[in-house]
């Protein structure tokens, strides 16, 4: 039977031996795990020992597209990379947009497996299905922009480049893999894994057509989905006009906009850095990923330079989290992180932690809240592991633990928290604590129901019903990350359309409940891997500040995260025991018995 939506092929590259071979992917695996995060989770479980050193040759980087990647469905330009994270020690996936994933799929592959480690720097080039490894010594030491320009100048503008900067080369624990210049597989330090493998870049270019099982049906579904996107005020007005920084004023007014390492929950000068202010001052245009009707990326002009502007999370992490309100400095810091290949969230939160430790005279870092020049210098030092950067390059958890003051690290499972104070959004707190990859807002994205009214508005201060809602969000988002679709599309388009699009692409009948079940299987499989890696229920918690220190002022006055009752209910609803371990009955129900500890 011919495959639709997928090619059913993987490319396996052993960087130690230089061996490259094509492999078939079982149709059953594609049907059950879809692609993206789901298939990546399965492969890491099968091939990466949970006890392995994340920066050792036993770890693998699994690049995966999805059955909708490269189709006409909106937001379908994404791809995913899975591995064991050097920052968290957990199973980890990160996904990015742009055009890189589409071009990998058009090479005829659903998956690229990178294993082993080269002895000298190399790049992997895949053009129309033909893959070769080449020496890349002349690129080692170059930043992301320099590397991308050098490769495209040599190979042509029809190629897409995924590469690391000097942060990845120096194995900074939160180094990113950057693609298409400024798109980022940002979180978890996957760039450090790539650096440890001495792989500077993966270059792709292909022209194979992705066949749909029912093209006419897909055209109709796309037409309907586009109408929903145009009808939704977030995806038709807010994001296109102001990008993700449109959220700054909203969350500041709600009293959930963390400042100075989560010591406060409102920023006095939020108006100076908002999406509206960007539009009035440094904005120079907008861009979007492949097949994107939203076009949320802000291009900004600082002096004579035009660059991709900071997204909401980056704007916050490099701004209010560090007490900085200079919009141009924040934009420069964001651009510097992109060039050097650093996760902006972990960079900003780690610097913010260092600033508080300095403020409390607990660690000599020379970094102080509000020091705009200091943050630019600190970013350079982190990427190059120079001076105080050597300590910060390990991430906030290790930095704070090493000096005996772990409570000041704003992280979960080692992953630095993003731009939401969960003391004012109880479900967000539960989502952070239970996230399999650590402090991540996107696993459950409780921002939707607790702040944006998507799919419906709920009381953000209440703990009632939050366990069930968090689980539902986590499951469907795991499936969306496997299709793989931009999360913003999900703000306007329901899982009914995702299931219909998946059916039209593959010819297999999927219902919305099938997506929820696939997502639940992914979530439980990630949990099993983490348990084997030693990441148990004791890691399902939040920094003491968020549990013990009430918000001092503003609309969320007096709030802490009431985690304990929500967590107990969460375990029960998940079908896990009181220690957070999936029960044999649950594993049997999900047909995951072969993966059990």
Same CATH topology for 9-205 and 422-595: the answer is no
**What pLDDT band is residue 587 in, cutting at 50, 70 and 90?**
very high
Angle at 300 between CA 296 and CA 304, to 5 degrees: 160
Residue with tokens 């913003």: 488
Domain locations in the chain?
A: 9-205, 243-409, 422-595
Q: Is the pTM of this model over 0.95?
A: yes
pLDDT digits (tens, 9 = 90+) for 498-551: 999 999 999 999 999 999 999 999 999 999 999 999 999 999 999 999 999 999
DSSP code at position 201: E
**What pLDDT band is residue 1 in, cutting at 50, 70 and 90?**
very low
pLDDT digits (tens, 9 = 90+) for 405-461: 999 999 999 999 999 999 999 999 999 999 999 999 999 999 999 999 999 999 999
pLDDT digits (tens, 9 = 90+) for 367-387: 999 999 999 999 999 999 999
Which residue(s) pair with 286 in the sheet? 298
* Assigned CATH topology for domain 9-205: Aldehyde Ferredoxin Oxidoreductase;  A, domain 1 (3.60.9)
Taking the C-alpha atoms of residue 195 and residue 189, their distance in angstroms, rounded to an integer, is: 10
Which residue(s) pair with 10 in the sheet? 23, 111
Inter-residue contact 16 to 461 (CB < 8 Å): no
Both tokens of 487, joined, read: 């999360």
Domain 422-595 has CATH 2.70.98.50: no
CATH of domain 243-409: 1.10.569.10
pLDDT digits (tens, 9 = 90+) for 18-76: 999 999 999 999 999 999 999 999 999 999 999 999 999 999 999 999 999 999 999 99
Tell me whether residue 556 is exposed, middle or buried, using C-beta atoms within 10 angstroms of its C-beta: 0 to 12, 13 to 18, 19 or more: buried
Taking the C-alpha atoms of residue 62 and residue 22, their distance in angstroms, rounded to an integer, is: 14
Which residue(s) pair with 63 in the sheet? 81, 112
Taking the C-alpha atoms of residue 35 and residue 68, their distance in angstroms, rounded to an integer, is: 9
Taking the C-alpha atoms of residue 96 and residue 484, their distance in angstroms, rounded to an integer, is: 10
Inter-residue contact 141 to 166 (CB < 8 Å): yes
CB-side exposure of 326: number of CA atoms within 13 Å?
14
């Amino acid at each position: 039977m011919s495959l639709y939506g997928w090619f059913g092929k993987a490319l396996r590259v052993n960087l130690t031996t230089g061996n490259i071979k094509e492999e078939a992917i079982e149709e059953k695996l594609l049907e059950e795990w879809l692609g993206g995060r789901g298939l990546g989770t399965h492969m890491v479980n099968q091939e990466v020992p949970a006890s392995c050193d994340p920066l050792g040759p036993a770890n693998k980087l699994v690049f995966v597209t999805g059955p909708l990647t490269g189709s006409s469905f909106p937001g379908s330009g994404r791809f995913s990379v899975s591995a064991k994270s050097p920052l968290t020690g957990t199973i980890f996936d990160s996904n990015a947009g742009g055009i890189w994933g589409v071009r990998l799929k058009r090479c005829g592959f659903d998956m690229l497996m990178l294993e082993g480690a080269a002895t000298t720097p190399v790049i992997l080039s895949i053009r129309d299905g033909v893959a070769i490894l080449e020496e890349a010594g002349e690129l080692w030491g170059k930043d992301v922009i320099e590397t991308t320009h050098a490769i495209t100048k040599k190979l042509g503008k029809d190629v897409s480049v995924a590469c690391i900067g000097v942060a990845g080369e120096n194995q900074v624990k939160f180094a990113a893999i950057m693609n298409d210049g400024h798109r980022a597989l940002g979180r978890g330090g996957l760039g450090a894994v790539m650096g440890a493998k001495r792989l500077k870049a993966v270059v792709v270019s292909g022209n194979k057509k992705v066949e749909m099982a029912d093209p006419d049906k897909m055209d109709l579904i796309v037409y309907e989905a586009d109408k929903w996107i145009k009808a939704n005020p977030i995806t038709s007005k807010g994001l296109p006009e102001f990008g993700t920084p449109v959220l700054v004023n909203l969350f500041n007014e709600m009293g959930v906009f963390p400042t100075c390492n989560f010591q406060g929950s409102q920023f006095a000068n939020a108006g100076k850095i908002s999406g509206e202010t960007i539009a009035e001052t440094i904005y120079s245009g907008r861009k979007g990923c492949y097949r994107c009707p939203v076009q949320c990326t802000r291009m900004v002009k600082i002096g004579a330079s035009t660059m991709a502007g900071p997204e909401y999370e980056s704007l916050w992490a490099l701004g209010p989290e560090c007490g900085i309100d200079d919009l141009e400095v924040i934009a420069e810091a964001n651009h510097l992180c992109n060039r050097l290949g650093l996760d902006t969230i972990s960079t900003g939160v780690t610097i913010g932690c260092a600033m508080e430790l300095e403020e409390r005279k607990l660690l000599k870092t020379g970094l102080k809240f509000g020091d705009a020049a200091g943050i630019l210098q600190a970013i350079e030092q982190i990427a190059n592991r120079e001076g105080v950067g050597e300590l910060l390059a390990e991430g906030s958890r290790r930095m704070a633990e090493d000096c005996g003051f772990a409570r000041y690290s704003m992280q979960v499972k080692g992953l630095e928290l993003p731009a939401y104070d969960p003391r004012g959004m109880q479900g967000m707190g539960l989502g952070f604590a239970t996230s399999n990859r650590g402090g991540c807002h996107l696993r459950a994205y409780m921002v939707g129901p607790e702040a944006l009214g998507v799919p419906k508005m709920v009381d953000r201060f209440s703990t009632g019903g939050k366990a069930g809602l968090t689980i539902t969000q986590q499951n469907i988002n795991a499936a969306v990350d496997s299709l793989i679709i931009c999360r913003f599309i999900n703000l306007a388009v329901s899982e009914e359309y995702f299931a219909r699009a998946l059916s039209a692409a593959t010819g297999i009948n999927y219902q919305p409940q099938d997506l929820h079940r696939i997502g639940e299987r992914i979530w439980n499989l990630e949990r099993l891997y983490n348990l084997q890696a030693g990441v148990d229920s004791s890691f399902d918690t939040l920094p003491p500040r968020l549990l013990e220190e009430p918000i001092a002022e503003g609309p969320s006055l007096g709030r802490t995260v009431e985690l304990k009752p929500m967590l107990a209910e969460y375990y029960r609803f998940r079908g896990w025991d009181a220690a957070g371990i999936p029960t044999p009955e649950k594993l049997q129900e999900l047909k995951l018995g072969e993966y059990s500890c």
